[in-house]
Amino acid sequence: MKIRNGFMALAVMFLLSPGFNANASDALAATPLSQRIETLREEVLALNRDITLLEEELLYPSSQTALFLSVDVGTPIRLVDVNLTLNGQHVGYHSYTEQEFEALTQGGIQRLYTGNVRSGRNVLEATITGYDPRGKDYQRSTTYTFEKGPGRKWIELRVVDDLDAMQHRFEFHEWDQ
């Protein structure tokens, strides 16, 4: 509503500005007020639509990549934190509270990173610290190489129980949009 009022004020200022074409002003005076208001309203809505599309392009460019984390439902292994590196640059870290980890073990998924990634080959590294079912702490790392083409890419890092080793193993799944 605030944006719409701002556009209306901008339109009125334009109509009242000294540079406004006099012939257009005469033609405008000959049209009924309700028709002028409706025309102005349609122009403001079109401008608002254009601004919304531009804002969407700026916030969600086609080079965007998002990384998500999920874990096995009911896992006996406890995640403590995760550290992310993309193409050699640190891009994220998260330390899990009991409530966050509980949500993940009940089927939740967490967005760890969203950003613009160059096209071509990219290397993602994830280091996860946790506790095994016996309470012993450990740290595991994995590297994943993916190709980024046009459009958006979503990658899920799934932390899966490896009960034989009493640690996690990692699986990746990609979606192109």
**Looking at the structure, do residues 84 and 156 belong to the same domain, yes or no?**
yes
Of 59, 87, 104, the residue at which a domain comes to its end is 59
**Looking at the structure, do residues 16 and 79 belong to the same domain, yes or no?**
no
Number of domains, the chain: 2
**Looking at the structure, do residues 6 and 93 belong to the same domain, yes or no?**
no
The mean per-residue pLDDT over the stretch 76-90 comes to 92
**pLDDT of residue 11 exceeding 80:** no
**Looking at the structure, do residues 29 and 85 belong to the same domain, yes or no?**
no
DSSP assignment of 96-149, as one string? --HHHHHHHHTT--EEEEEEE--SEEEEEEEEEEEE-TTS-EEEEEEEEEEEE-
Which pLDDT score, from 0 to 100, does residue 32 have?
A: 85
Give 43's strand partners. none
pTM value is 0.63
**Looking at the structure, do residues 113 and 55 belong to the same domain, yes or no?**
no
Q: Please give the Cα distance from 157 to 69 (Å, whole number).
A: 5
**Looking at the structure, do residues 112 and 148 belong to the same domain, yes or no?**
yes
Which pLDDT score, from 0 to 100, does residue 147 have?
A: 93
**pLDDT of residue 113 exceeding 80:** yes
Of 13, 32, 59, the residue at which a domain comes to its end is 59
Which pLDDT score, from 0 to 100, does residue 69 have?
A: 93
**Looking at the structure, do residues 125 and 169 belong to the same domain, yes or no?**
yes
Of 59, 78, 103, the residue at which a domain comes to its end is 59
**pLDDT of residue 27 exceeding 90:** no
The mean per-residue pLDDT over the stretch 59-63 comes to 67
Q: Which range of residues forms the domain containing residue 112?
A: 64-176
**Looking at the structure, do residues 85 and 139 belong to the same domain, yes or no?**
yes
pLDDT, the chain, mean? 81
**Looking at the structure, do residues 69 and 125 belong to the same domain, yes or no?**
yes
The mean per-residue pLDDT over the stretch 118-134 comes to 90
**pLDDT of residue 29 exceeding 70:** no
For residue 78, what are its two tokens? 């406890």
**pLDDT of residue 97 exceeding 70:** yes
**pLDDT of residue 143 exceeding 70:** yes
**Looking at the structure, do residues 102 and 171 belong to the same domain, yes or no?**
yes
**pLDDT of residue 5 exceeding 80:** no
7 or 159: whose pLDDT is higher?
Answer: 159
